[in-house]
Structure 1
């Protein structure tokens, strides 16, 4: 009785804290309402020195979800925003963050319809709580048993909702109770087999159920059967697509991609036009690398969704500018055409593949920002400095002034236009907030001298950075953990055996990645700078673990990628487990769910930081690695 009373008090306290942190209007919203809210972060774990950001995750009656960043305005310490719902919206979850910190409290809103909470609202809450997605997006704790109860409540209200949620239900059930999960899954498989339909849809369900149980042998067997029986079906297409995106040679990608478009009749079905666009875009991007303009423009112009074409153009132009001095008429025309397409699209109706006008306009603005930045570079190379400044101001405005690289370019163009004071102020603010690259700091030193500032530029920069460093350390300190790191023994690309046990006394940065992983590759320039910074420190070791790849000549493919990008990385090859060949040993031991995933291990062999995902900003990555290493050294 006493224990129950204490638990009740704890739950009541959590509810009261959440209620104090956020207020809604209307208090009991229904589907279709615009929900206004005010958020008070003072009682939360967020760092109030940084701007508060909000992410909403909303679900509809068909159990589909949409993520959206909610604009906030600050007034008297409260952060105010609103969520617009539709008649089909059943559930909304809000997440708040500042810099790298997330408020882990649950801010859930079940919307009523006909004065009742629909079953789908409970399904949605269960999915967020039990699948791990709520943790990844909003920072909330994963609780499979609670999630299971929410699914069962939904099914008791409306049994038909099981049809739209069975896969996630079985996944969560198996996590919560493996014995019960296996029994129910096996029963479902037997039920499907007895029906005798043998349709691709039924076989895909069986394959998914085997995958939930980590039965790779059975799942692979079903996969082969599905592809054999349905050579132009969903799974066959996914298998071909997987092979296609791994091709690096432009001519091979072109040949394979065109055969896919023909085989699956992608251009004949309007619903498949997006798939055809994706293949044409991929082929065009391969010709970017070789600077093959005729073939690039051939496939870029075959893309029917014109909203994606400007960024394709920008990739070609950016690659050319990075590898050549000056400019040429072709590059100028391609950039101008990209901006022209964007302006034309602004006056046209939103294409069906974009779920909202806001998302469509945002995609156009992102493309315009990138192309404006590129065109500013071109104008700068032509010594048209005022025009370069003007285009860069447009690029920054469209990026909401949050892009570090764009600010760095802006400072450079302002200096070239002899607008030294403005350049100085902008660079000073970037350094103060910890968002300055080495190049920007060098320009700041030049500006310091040009403007005849008193004292030492280096000392002034150091003082500015010290305030920023303290803020960053306070953020990362809240993310520190202390868990034993699984031991490992793996060979690197040189054939040398690397053991964690041999690295005692050293800080180890373990970075899990794959050659197919875009975010991994985007993080590498920053990780390389961090590695170089600590190259002369024998007590800091960077290890890059290649995992989840099983292609032919894997080590050669990985080595070629590293060599091509001039990365001096110590790359470990994660091999298949001898006990379970369906799993890779290290990634399984470290329970990695997604990559990139970094583990920072201290000299005592304990994991102090476990970071999934990565910023693409080199400055952010270096600063974050610095902060984590410094916190470990201070601990």
Structure 2
């Protein structure tokens, strides 16, 4: 009666499909060839003339990783299609099939989401264990449906698990968590207490639940949103395995959250000694390396790095630290040691799991270039330009100029000058200037070198650099023309810090730059060096005037006097105490730069500071030059 009871639900599960799908032998065994007939009438493929079968094997949950989809070519016979497949000899309880048009894979017959099943039988004709639970596993443990852009019927999945467990209660250890997970996803009314009872019942039935079972139970509670019970189970895990992953996670978190640096170091050292192979240790080592650096303990940082295996070093972080140290000329020999360690580790580190294998070769080469750039920087900062030059050669690529960094281009040419390779660096440097990827220091150094070449002078060098930048200037002009405005400039009269009257009437016929600022405004003060450079460009031009209008100060005037005395900027500072001028000129935030043309019209307005002094000077100077041309 047990076999008949089992066969009845199995026939019920497949009987609805017999009009479309038939196979022989009717009770196939492992290793046999199964012939089948598919009749597409009444299915989504009824009008298709080209049809293929796709199938996967199924069995116990642990073997579902073997369930890779495969195709079968079908032969048309009248209104039917026939094919055959060979059943594996091991790890199989049945096969699941779907039918589709191979030229249009989304045209598919999924048997209303049930798929077509061929259960495997024993030598007595009885289906093997997992005949139904394995079908559910196809829906939950394989991606068979996803290649057809379909989703499983959770009601059917739950039913299959329940039928399997009713027939084979001894298989509960294999199916309990998959079944309960399906109930959670199904989310029928009352599922929470039912799943909770299932978890409790199963764990109670185990003399000593394994760590894997406790982990699964906690994950089930979390999927239900019951974090209180999930945490209770995780506490059981820690008790059962005091040196396990969860205990390590808690210890690692304690190290991470410790604010006292001395205690943090001691806790990290204890963790590293107790759990030298912990998966949490690499991230802690990175955090501690950064901590030593931020606490200005360079010796301690180097000592830590020297104890770490290559798998626990973050070469990109070491690169950032070493470059900053070299750039600041802060213990440069140690910076060199750090970057040498990073280069050595990069050569032996395995591919990070978050980077696809197809991208790793390119990414590794890119990282190597970043590290070599820092290595070259540490060498040149120690005056070892002859050693730095070949390092720069590994960094500089003729194909990357458009994405290059202006400071790297500067360092490359300056190193070339020091090693008598300027001619070799000339073409790249000129292209960098043409593309706007050259600093002012690079352009000045290149101009001075060019002026010393045979037949050249400082004047011809200035002309040459000017010509290199001609396209760039025209592009900037076009861009500025598109954003320039034309509004009446409100009249103003203010008193500056020296007690002089500064008025718009006295500035008539001149190009006037108004820079609205306050002493408390960080971006305002940050932009002053750039504004000083811009003013210096026109310091001998009587038709250009810069006014640094103090507004929105909100404090005593003495604060402004004190600021200017401390910083000695050569600025004219009118005071807009009541914000009347700022409001008249539509100042919405500071810093705001406003440029007035010689006809008394507001032609340019910019709010904020982007942190790039060279770009600020270039743009503001270009606006002034364009308006001067209109005088």
Q: TM-score, normalising length from structure 1? A: 0.41
Highest CA radius of gyration, 1 or 2?
2
Q: TM-score, normalising length from structure 2? A: 0.41
